């Protein structure tokens, strides 16, 4: 699935390949797909609308790649898989959208799990909350994605929400999904199931810089190695935690990585480097201080016992 790093990469490649080119023909909906969503009741009208259109630009918006033609915008969402085909390369028999350009190359689009392939006229698409969310989103790749912005997202969410829930659900950070989040949370040392009301200010600061740094690294490398770009090449960012590395030891502590289903999709984490803390920062601090004092005392007592044992051993030797 396209997330922010891949959407940036594919949009850049598509812009380089076709900006200024004109469409000679197009076909939408050749292979029926229950989760390919087009504008209108049937996608047959795309062919007539797109033929003869000149491509002005291709831009990423969160997990969307948006093609702007003279009269239309084509908004392809995160489940759309985009490939460039050379002149003379046989066109695949199955696809959900095929666009032929005047240099003999083509864009073929297939839908992975589900995707929106919306062709929108001037002012259309206002009712598509995901597309609007993407257009209006504050990208973690820009300086507008501040620590205050992340803190605002956390404060507006339910205290029982998990770290994964904060990053990858409800369009809080459009374009950040179940692919990129594993390496972000690993970098931050935060368990994906950890409640956000256990995150202190330091944790949020660490999480903020992990989001920005990890997504920037992924984008600069041309996307993750688990995904393929417009030219069918895997991205240059080597994922730390993904289906590709699931049997490898944790790169930090050499322990085993855990994989389990959680909140729609599998999560990957190191239980040692990303402990699941239960302490809640927003509760009254009194009970915690009390518990903590008891714990300190226990540690002190056991230390004394150890010291006495050592002394005992020393006097007898």
Strands 23-28 and 106-111: what pairing?
unpaired
Q: Measure the CA–CA gap between 305 and 316, rounded to whole angstroms.
A: 17
What would the x/- binding string for Zn ion be over residues 191 to 230, using CB under 5 A? ----------------------------------------
Closer CB to Zn ion, residue 252 or residue 280? Answer: 252
Question: Which listed residue (250, 258, 267, 269) binds Zn ion by CB under 5 A?
Answer: 250
Measuring CA to CA, how many Å separate 105 from each of 52, 57, 68, 176?
15, 17, 18, 31
Closest CB to Zn ion among 176 and 257? 257
Q: Is 187 in the site for Zn ion (CB under 5 A)?
A: no
Nearest distance from C-beta of residue 250 to Zn ion, angstroms = 3
Q: Which stretch, 100-108, 112-120, 205-213, 247-255, contacts Zn ion (CB under 5 A)?
A: 247-255
What CA–CA distance (Å, rounded) separates 69 from 20?
Answer: 9
Instruction: Decide: is 190 part of the binding site for Zn ion (CB under 5 A).
Output: no
Q: Which residue in the set 253, 295, 305, 311 belongs to the binding site for Zn ion (CB under 5 A)?
A: 253
CA distance 241 to 259: 10
Q: Is residue 272 close enough to count as binding Zn ion by CB under 5 A?
A: yes
Closest approach, Cβ 142 to Zn ion, in A, equals 31
Question: If binding is defined by CB under 5 A, does position 105 make contact with Zn ion?
Answer: no
Decide: is 68 part of the binding site for Zn ion (CB under 5 A).
no
Q: How far apart are CA 29 and CA 32, in angstroms?
A: 6
Tokens of 54: 């000149």
Query: Smallest distance from the beta carbon of 253 to Zn ion, in angstroms?
Result: 3
How far is the C-alpha of 9 from the C-alpha of 180, rounded, in Å?
Answer: 15
Segment near Zn ion (CB under 5 A), from 94-102, 122-130, 207-215, 255-263?
255-263
Angstrom distance (rounded) from CA 94 to CA 108: 10
Q: How far is the CB of 244 from Zn ion (least distance, A)?
A: 17
Q: Is 257 in the site for Zn ion (CB under 5 A)?
A: no
By CB under 5 A, tell whether 259 contacts Zn ion: no
Return the bridge partners of 213, or none: none
Residue given tokens 């507008």 in the structure block: 144
How many residues sit close enough to Zn ion to count as binding (CB under 5 A)? 7
Rule CB under 5 A: choose which of 30, 252, 266, 280 binds Zn ion. Answer: 252
Report how far apart, in Å, the C-alpha atoms of 295 and of each of 232, 262, 282, 298, 309 are.
56, 32, 21, 5, 21
270 belongs to the binding site for Zn ion (CB under 5 A): yes
Q: How far is the CB of 251 from Zn ion (least distance, A)?
A: 8
| CA distances from residue 193 to 63, 160, 197, 208, 270 in whole angstroms, order as listed | 24, 10, 12, 17, 12
Q: In the complex, which residues of this chain contact Zn ion (CB under 5 A)?
A: 250, 252-253, 255, 270, 272-273
């Amino acid at each position: 699935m396209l997330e922010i790093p891949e959407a940036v990469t594919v949009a850049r490649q598509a812009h380089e390949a076709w900006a200024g080119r004109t469409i000679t023909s197009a076909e939408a909906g050749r292979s029926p797909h229950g989760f390919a969503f087009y504008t209108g009741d049937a996608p047959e009208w795309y062919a007539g609308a797109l033929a003869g259109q000149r491509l002005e630009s291709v831009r990423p918006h969160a997990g969307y790649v948006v093609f702007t033609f003279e009269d239309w915008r084509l908004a392809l969402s995160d489940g759309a898989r985009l490939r460039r085909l050379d002149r003379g390369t046989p066109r695949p028999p199955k696809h959900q959208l095929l666009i032929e350009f005047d240099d003999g190359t083509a864009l073929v689009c297939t839908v992975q799990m589900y995707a929106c392939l919306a062709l929108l006229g001037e002012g259309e698409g206002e009712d598509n909350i995901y597309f609007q969310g993407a257009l209006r989103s504050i990208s973690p790749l820009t300086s507008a994605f501040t620590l205050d912005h992340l803190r605002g997202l956390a404060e507006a969410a339910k205290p029982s929400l998990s770290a994964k829930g904060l990053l990858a659900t409800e369009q809080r950070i459009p374009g950040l999904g179940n692919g990129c989040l594993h390496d972000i949370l690993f970098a931050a040392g935060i368990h994906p199931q950890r409640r956000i009301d256990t995150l202190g200010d330091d944790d949020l600061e660490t999480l903020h810089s992990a989001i920005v740094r990890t997504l920037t690294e992924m984008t600069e490398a041309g996307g993750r190695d688990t995904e393929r770009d417009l030219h069918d090449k895997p991205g240059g960012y080597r994922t730390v935690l993904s289906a590709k590395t699931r049997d490898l030891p944790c790169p930090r502590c050499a322990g085993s990585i855990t994989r389990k289903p959680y909140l729609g999709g599998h999560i990957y984490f190191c239980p040692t480097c990303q402990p699941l803390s239960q302490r809640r920062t927003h509760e009254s601090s009194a009970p915690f201080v009390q518990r903590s004092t008891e714990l300190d005392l226990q540690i002190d007592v056991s230390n004394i016992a150890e010291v006495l044992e050592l002394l005992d051993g020393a006097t007898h030797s």
